[in-house]
Amino acid sequence: MISLDTIWPADSVEFCPHESASDIFVCGTYQLEQSPTDAAHTALEDSDGHSELNFEPTTGKQSQVRRGKCLVLQVTEDRGVSQIQEISLAAVLDQKWCHTSPTASPILGIADSEGNITIHEWHKEERRLKPFQRISCAPSDVLCLSLDWSTRRFPTNNFGSLVVSLSNGSLCVLTPDSTGNLSVVNRWHAHDYEPWIAAWNYWDTSIVYSGGDDLTMKGWDVRQNFSQPIFTNKRFDAGITTIQSHPHIEYLIAVGSYDNKVCLFDTRKPLVPLVQGDVGGGAWRVKWHPSPSRKEDLLVASMHDGFKVAKAHHGEDVTWEIVKRFDDHKSLAYGADWSFAPIGVDGETLIATCSFYDHILHLWSG
């Protein structure tokens, strides 16, 4: 097991999916700088264990400043970790690599605390990410909470589309224009409280799912107007934090919430889960394994209860079990991802995880 001090609190980890850069991954950090009089408001969580991420607007009356860094890291030959770049920007809340074709460059999108999405391109020869575009999705006192690319199942030579969730309750969709740059083409009010997550249906990229602190999961068809969702599921006991469409099994999505559960849904019947799994803590991120040979495996960041690998068996009924857990983090378990490198001879995959207040990143296998 390898660890790295990220210096600032860490909340997201993403491995590059491109075959030319599968040893590259990024870690995002979030540092709240403030005056002593604001010290009582430092917590990323409220008393209910919810993730607040401090939504006070940064006006003249407010001395809080959210700073962030994208740490660009490389897995070394001995499965250690080496930092090769540090990008300073507003606090990082989410990051996603665009799945591009083998002939295209790896592309990273970063969601920050000042309403921006920044796009970076990986330059292999120089071993650096270089800024490509910065898109303002909202005013600077609104946070971009999550983002997701539409190209997970169908990598392209261009960007594909992005969906972004915003702390003011809105979602927006970005698509490439004639010049190849991304621009906001749709923005609509989706939730009454913070929508922690927005995610594409990777099998049907006209469909977006979202969930938030209003205890509601919704589906949206981006071809229609956004006056109403295509479905609304209000049968949750706590805020929804994470959603991911399965890259290898059509109609299957994993949905996590603050109530310590991960639910698997058939998207054709999105109101009743196929199975509910207890993961011991609020599920901040869920990640399906990238390999079809391990399509039953789901990585979960469980906030107060570490990280876990769960197995969802797909028989006549779907069953759920925790097959591995990683408890070396001493703080909130937020960021987690599988490596896209080939599975090892032991059948295991390299995993990166990071936690918040102790600002630690770990590499382990599962």
pTM of the shown model: 0.93
CA distance 271 to 257: 15
Average pLDDT of the segment spanning 27-40: 74
Strand 162-166 relative to strand 170-176, pairing? antiparallel
CA distance 174 to 176: 7
Confidence band, pLDDT 50/70/90 cuts, at residue 195: very high
Residue 224 in contact with residue 205, Cβ under 8 Å? no
pLDDT for 35-86, tens place per residue? Answer: 554 543 344 444 344 554 554 444 444 557 999 999 999 999 888 899 999 9
CA distance 189 to 22: 37
CA distance 195 to 193: 6
Residue 178 in contact with residue 212, Cβ under 8 Å? no
Would you say the C-alpha torsion 48, 35, 284, 235 has a positive or negative sign? Answer: positive
The tokens 């295209």 sit on which residue?
104
% pLDDT > 90, the chain: 84
Q: Which residues contact 204 (CB under 8 A, 6 or more apart)?
A: none
pLDDT of residue 47: 35
pLDDT of residue 36: 54
Sheet (strand 144-149) strand order: 144-149, 162-166, 170-176, 182-189
Both tokens of 182, joined, read 């991304």
Domains contained in the chain, CATH given? 2-365 (2.130.10.10)
CA distance 321 to 331: 24
Strand, coil or helix: 264:
strand
Strand, coil or helix: 36:
helix
pLDDT of residue 51: 56
CA distance 194 to 211: 9
pLDDT for 227-273, tens place per residue? Answer: 999 999 999 999 999 999 999 999 999 999 999 999 999 999 999 99
Residue 100 in contact with residue 155, Cβ under 8 Å? yes
Residue 200 in contact with residue 220, Cβ under 8 Å? no
Q: Is 177 left (phi over 0), alpha (psi -120 to 50) or beta?
A: beta
Phi, psi (5° rounding) for residue 59?
-95, 180
Cα–chain center distance at 44: 17
Confidence band, pLDDT 50/70/90 cuts, at residue 158: confident
